[in-house]
């Protein structure tokens, strides 16, 4: 069985016609879809309803054209990142495990999914969550058939954050929590990034006091999101495996800062596409499927020695500043504004930068 990948535009808030078109064209069957990673056009905050609308629309198409039960369709990982600030186009990247037979021994894209053990509210921001995420990542590696962590190039997660109710639950059982509600999205993402890094051998197990504080600790393949709708880590892991078959390969690098366009091209090279020393979007020749990246404002409020004001802006949150800026750099690099850019990148790539993952069509 081989992995098929398709990037489809989301033409309105609840549009899934691109997914439906792929199914009707025979690119893959509805029952073969195993994961979706997408950008929606909402505010990107806790109350971003566009993520829910997109999720409902895509699952409805799987139900309409497939034979899986409602419960089975609910189990398909769909990670929606809200907020298409600047030039970013709402879109989704769909992954399907098809019945096409693998041929050849070249490394090709594989995908694994897993759920971690339950993450309690008092775990968020603490070593217990790091350990539970790491366990889930190892499960996803096994599901993908990957044994060497160096073959893993992308780990996309969704983890719980804190709510008033879950904080009360922890306190009713005699436990405190690491932070308050408004901080918990970034803390959950950051703690998850460390769990990924531990599982893949990028770092050793961090000390409790280093979590969300020592920003020199990070994963170069982590892309972490959080929400209120689950109580464990939902994990989608992608890498390359010899003999997997299919057309697609994946690679990664990091952007050292928000202007590091070379980091984007380095990820594409790592996936296997030859590029000149100073590439342009036209050098990709239609071989790039999509790029996925994380970013956030540099807490030092500097960019290449110049003062930055996004952290001081009371009108526009710094997440929206950084997402729009990196989205513009990425769109210019690949010649396509339908690019996945997500914020809250603590422990995900270097401070002020972030991981970049590229999937290319390498041919049969």
Catalytic residues: 158, 225
Positive or negative: CA dihedral 326, 334, 349, 44: positive
Residue 103 CA to residue 364 CA, distance in Å, equals: 8
Q: Judge contact between 108 and 362, C-beta under 8 A.
A: yes
> DSSP letters along 43-82, please?
--STT-HHHHHHHHHHHHHHHHH----HHHHHTS-EEEEE
End-to-end CA distance of the chain: 14
Burial profile 100-135: b = 16 or more Cβ within 10 angstroms, e = fewer? eeeeeebbbbbbbbbbbbebbbbbbbbbbbbbbbbb
How many angstroms from the chain centroid is the CA of residue 94?
13
**Which residues does 134 contact at the CB level (< 8 Å), separation at least 6?**
195, 196, 198, 199
* Other residues' Cβ atoms within 10 Å of the Cβ of residue 328: 18
Tell me which residue of 123, 122, 227 sits closest to 185, measured CA to CA. 227
Query: Residue 120: phi, psi to the nearest 5?
Result: -80, 155
Tell me which residue of 117, 212, 120 sits closest to 160, measured CA to CA. 120
Q: Judge contact between 343 and 296, C-beta under 8 A.
A: yes
3-state DSSP assignment of residue 148: coil
Tell me which residue of 47, 6, 359 sits closest to 181, measured CA to CA. 47
Q: Is 1 exposed, middle or buried (0-12, 13-18, 19+ CB in 10 A)?
A: middle
């Amino acid at each position: 069985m081989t992995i098929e990948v398709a990037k489809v535009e989301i033409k309105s808030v609840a549009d899934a016609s691109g997914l439906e078109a792929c199914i009707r064209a025979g690119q893959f069957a509805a029952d073969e879809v195993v994961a979706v990673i997408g950008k929606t056009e909402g505010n990107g905050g806790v109350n971003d309803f566009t993520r829910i609308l997109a999720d409902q629309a895509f699952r409805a198409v799987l139900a309409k054209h497939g034979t899986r039960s409602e419960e089975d369709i609910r189990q398909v990982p769909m990670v929606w990142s809200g907020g298409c600030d600047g030039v970013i186009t709402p879109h989704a990247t769909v992954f399907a495990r098809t019945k096409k037979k693998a041929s050849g021994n070249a490394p090709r894209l594989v995908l694994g999914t897993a759920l971690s053990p339950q993450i309690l509210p008092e775990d968020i921001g603490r070593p217990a969550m790091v350990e539970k995420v790491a366990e889930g990542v190892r499960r996803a590696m096994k599901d993908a058939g990957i044994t060497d962590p160096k073959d893993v190039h992308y780990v996309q997660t969704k983890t719980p954050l804190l709510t008033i109710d879950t904080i009360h639950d922890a306190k009713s059982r005699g436990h405190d929590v690491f932070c308050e509600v408004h901080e918990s999205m970034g803390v959950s993402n950051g703690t998850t990034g460390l769990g990924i890094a531990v599982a893949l051998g990028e770092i050793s197990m961090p000390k409790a006091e280093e979590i969300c504080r020592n920003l020199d600790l990070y994963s170069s393949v982590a892309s972490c999101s959080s929400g209120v709708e689950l109580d464990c880590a939902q994990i989608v892991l992608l890498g390359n495996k010899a003999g997997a078959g299919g057309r697609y390969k994946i690679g990664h690098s990091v952007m050292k800062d928000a202007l590091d366009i070379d980091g984007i091209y380095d990820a594409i090279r790592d996936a296997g596409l030859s590029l000149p020393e100073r590439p342009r979007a036209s050098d990709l020749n239609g071989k790039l499927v999509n790029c996925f990246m994380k970013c956030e404002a540099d807490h030092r409020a500097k960019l290449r020695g110049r003062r930055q004001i996004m952290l001081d802006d009371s009108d526009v949150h710094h997440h929206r500043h950084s997402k729009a800026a990196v989205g513009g750099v990425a769109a210019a690099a690949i010649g396509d504004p339908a690019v996945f850019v997500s914020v809250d990148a603590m422990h995900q790539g270097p401070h002020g930068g972030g991981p970049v993952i590229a999937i290319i069509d390498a041919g049969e």
